[in-house]
Amino acid sequence: MSPLISNINILFFFFMIMISLLNQSSNAADFCVADLTAPEGPAGYPCKDASTVTSDDFYLNNITRTRTRYPLFKVSATFATTPNFPGLNGLGLSMHYFEIGVDGFVPILTKPQTSEIIYVIEGMVDVGFISSDNKAFYKTLRDGDVFAFPKGLLHFFVNSGRKSTARILASYSSSDPGIQFFTNSIAGNDLPSEMVAKVTFLDTDQVKKLKAQFGGTN
Ligand SMILES: *[C@@H]1O[C@H](CO)[C@@H](O)[C@H](O)[C@H]1NC(C)=O
């Protein structure tokens, strides 16, 4: 056997070994598609059997189409988050598409673990957030504009286009962001109204009124 041929043979076997190593290591750590039948923990869902993962786990058909409606705020939204987009599990990212109707708004809220960036597809919207030292950062956005909300801070959206619906795409640094609406949090609970009034500086009557509106008791 000539030295040339034996060198080619060695190279060939080297490549075969590389390819088989690559094949063995494929998949295992590429993704952790959510097993939605198991409970969700702080780090997300457990992974479902990789052999049952399909392209549809990484796909959501037309995010603008099937929206959940919130008539009180004149908002409708589609959530591309782990519960309806299992391929996002563990990736630390997700999306919402939402529309805010004329006179509509998103009430002040925080996503405690999650930073956010939005893109205004259409319309005009006032957005803002309040920092830990109570400084307000506030802007009027029009179609094509982008705005970022740092993690955990209280923020809001108000449709300021007199006649047009605002259409917005938002991306998050979490696969399934927890959301706390400020007013729901203080008025949607079963704490005694007197206690809520004391810790919020609101009047007890005002707290009772808000509790009736936001499903709280006591
Ligand atoms: C997606 O949904 C919107 C309705 O929100 C519709 O106007 C649009 O045609 C849909 N896209 C496709 C490709 O069907």
Whether residue 121 contacts residue 163, with contact meaning beta carbons closer than 8 Å, is answered with no
Whether residue 173 contacts residue 115, with contact meaning beta carbons closer than 8 Å, is answered with yes
Which of 65, 66, 76, 99 has most ligand 1 atoms within 8 Å of CB, for mutation? 65
Q: Which residue has the higher pLDDT, 29 or 47?
A: 47
Using the predicted structure, report yes or no on whether residue 195 has a pLDDT greater than 90.
yes
Q: State pLDDT tens for residues 44-53.
A: 999 999 999 9
pLDDT of res. 42: 84
Which of 59, 63, 64, 122 has most ligand 1 atoms within 8 Å of CB, for mutation? 64
Which of 60, 61, 62 has most ligand 1 atoms within 8 Å of CB, for mutation? 62
Gap from CA of 78 to ligand 1 centroid (Å):
13
Q: State pLDDT tens for residues 35-78.
A: 999 999 888 999 999 999 999 999 999 999 978 999 999 999 99
Gap from CA of 64 to ligand 1 centroid (Å):
7
Q: Which residue has the higher pLDDT, 155 or 30?
A: 155
pTM: 0.82
Whether residue 100 contacts residue 126, with contact meaning beta carbons closer than 8 Å, is answered with no
* Angstrom distance (rounded) from CA 75 to CA 64: 13
Whether residue 89 contacts residue 114, with contact meaning beta carbons closer than 8 Å, is answered with no
Residues with CB under 6 A from ligand 1: 62, 64-65
Gap from CA of 2 to ligand 1 centroid (Å):
66
**Protein residue with its CA nearest to atom 2 in ligand 1:** 65
What is the third-level CATH fold of 50-178? Jelly Rolls (2.60.120)
The vertex-133 CA angle with 131 and 139, nearest 5°, equals 35
Weakest mean pLDDT among 10-24, 48-62, 64-78, 195-209: 10-24
For the chain, the domains span 50-178, 185-214
Q: Give the position of tokens 């198991």.
A: 38
**Protein residue with its CA nearest to atom 7 in ligand 1:** 65
Nearest atom in ligand 1 to 62's CA: 1
φ, ψ dihedrals at 22, nearest 5°? -60, -45
